Amino acid sequence: MPHPQPQSPQFYTLDAEAIPTTAGPYALITSNFALQWFQTPEASVLRLLRSLLPGGWLLLSFPSNRSFPQWRSLCAQLGLPRPGNALPEPEPLIEALRSRSRQCLVQEHCLPLQFECALDFLKHFRAIGAATRLAGARPNPAQLRQLITTWDRQSPNGITVDYHAICLAVQK
């Protein structure tokens, strides 16, 4: 019996949060550092999982709500508005995926970033689009100056800010 000709893989760029329930089935879906922008992260990820072929894989990475502890701590100390947008809490999402999948592999990473000063960190944060405020109060210019001055004074040898990254490999 002749062997079937292998099909060329097809690649798509889709809006993961708006993927139709009839889309797919796909063998592999990936999303890298996008989940924090979803309006409904858990529901969207579960919709992606349903779009997979049996045995297919969903690969996700995202910064968790444990990211930027240095920045959050200093803002709390100074009584400033909560910095940045709310980031996904990994535990409920992981539990939902584990209960609906063949396997759910999880890795957590603490990724320290170094900056010469607080302003460099804030510029970096803005450059990656993370300064776009989805909800809540944002610091006014005087509060930002207070944050930068205090942080630089407390960290004369540079600023370290930690990303807490979650990486998931989920098999349907």
pLDDT band at 131 (very low <50, low <70, confident <90, very high): low
| pLDDT (0 to 100) of residue 156 | 94
CA distance 29 to 57: 6
Mean pLDDT of the region 39-46: 92
Residue 17 vs residue 168, higher pLDDT: 168
Domain coordinates of the chain in residue numbers? 27-171
CATH number of the 27-171 domain: 3.40.50.150
> pLDDT higher for 63 or 10?
63
Q: Is the pLDDT of residue 1 over 70?
A: no
Query: Side chain identity at 157, as an amino acid letter?
Result: N
Provide, rounded to the nearest whole percent, the portion of the chain with pLDDT above 90. Answer: 67
Is the pTM of the predicted complex or chain greater than 0.85? no
Minimum mean pLDDT among 13-27, 30-44, 80-94, 154-168: which range? 13-27
Inform me whether the pLDDT recorded for 14 exceeds 70: yes
Task: Convert the pLDDT of each residue in 69-94 to its tens digit.
Answer: 999 999 999 999 877 778 999 999 99
* Pairing outcome for strands 26-32 and 103-115: unpaired
Predicted local distance difference test score (pLDDT) of residue 132? 63
- pLDDT computed for residue 54 by the predictor: 96
CA–CA gap between residue 73 and residue 109 (Å, rounded): 20
Please report, for residues 29, 43, 46, 149, the alpha-carbon distance to residue 19 in angstroms, rounded to integers and kept in the order given. 11, 11, 11, 44
49 token code pair:
């999982």
